[in-house]
Amino acid sequence: MIAIGSDHAAFEFKEAIKAYLTEKGYALEDFGTCNNERVDYCDFGFRVGEAVASGVCEKGLIFCGTGVGISISANKVKGIRAVVCSEPYSAKLSREHNDTNILALGARVVGIELAKMIVDIWLTTGFEGGRHLERIQKIARYEGGDNCIGTQH
């Protein structure tokens, strides 16, 4: 199950990505927003982040005007590694090297066709593990309160 959410600035963008992925056979859980009324992007970043961190959803897609505010919010949820990007290269590498579990896009930054390409690549690229695993484990240790800066694995 893929969690999806946006603020008002990206509502139509979310609906377009939702229709695109549903057509491709993905199962999605929509955490809102559900219209153009002004909302706080952080609520949707937190909701999608919690759905992914808890394991209810395996990955998440979040959108706001720039992708910035909603990605910052999702990254405050323990266990979330959200990337905001506007091109496929970073989306791909964020999966291979950083095992990102949430992708954020800016509806006012990327066109919908580019967005579909980025989403496709992000959803279908796997994590490489190895040395990259040790680094994300270190991030998790730091997040858990361990002052592991500069320590060896």
As a three-state string, the secondary structure of 51-85 is: HHHCCCCCEEEEEECCCHHHHHHHCCCCCCCEEEC
Cα–Cα dist 96/31, whole Å: 27
Q: How far is CA 135 from the centre of its chain?
A: 19
- Per CB under 6 A, does 68 bind ligand RB5? yes
The secondary structure element, H or E, covering residue 6 is strand 2-6
- Per CB under 6 A, the list member of 21, 62, 64, 119 interacting with ligand RB5 is 64
Active-site choice (97, 132, 148, 153): 97
Binding to ligand RB5 by CB under 6 A, coded x per residue (else -) over 116-135, reads --------------------
Residues numbered 27-46 forming contacts with ligand RB5, rule: CB under 6 A: 41
- Per CB under 6 A, does 5 bind ligand RB5? no
Q: Which is nearer to ligand RB5, 108 or 141 (CB)?
A: 108
Q: For this structure, is 153 an active site residue?
A: no
- Active site residues per annotation: 64, 97
